[in-house]
Amino acid sequence: NKACREIFERITNKGKSKKLALIAVSNKLLKQAFAIAKSGLPYDETYVSVLSK
């Protein structure tokens, strides 16, 4: 997953531990999985969330 790799690299480049970066990536994947299960839509890598105001 390209987005997860970017998060991992961004956190580790800041000097944080790899374990912290893996936890952040895991959290993102859990949120994605929950959103997919809740909406019933297939995963779309190009999807951008638009919140109504």
Model pLDDT, residue 47:
76
Q: Cα–Cα distance between 21 and 35 in angstroms, integer?
A: 21
User: Per residue in 1-53, pLDDT tens?
Assistant: 788 999 999 999 999 999 999 999 999 999 888 988 898 888 887 877 777 65
Quote the number of domains for the chain: 1
In a domain, 13, yes or no: yes
In a domain, 9, yes or no: yes
Domain that holds residue 23: 2-39
Model pLDDT, residue 2:
84
pTM assigned to the model? 0.74
In a domain, 21, yes or no: yes
Model pLDDT, residue 42:
84
Question: Which residues have CB under 8 Å from 43's CB, separation 6+?
Answer: 32, 36
Model pLDDT, residue 23:
96
DSSP one-letter code for 53: -
In a domain, 50, yes or no: no
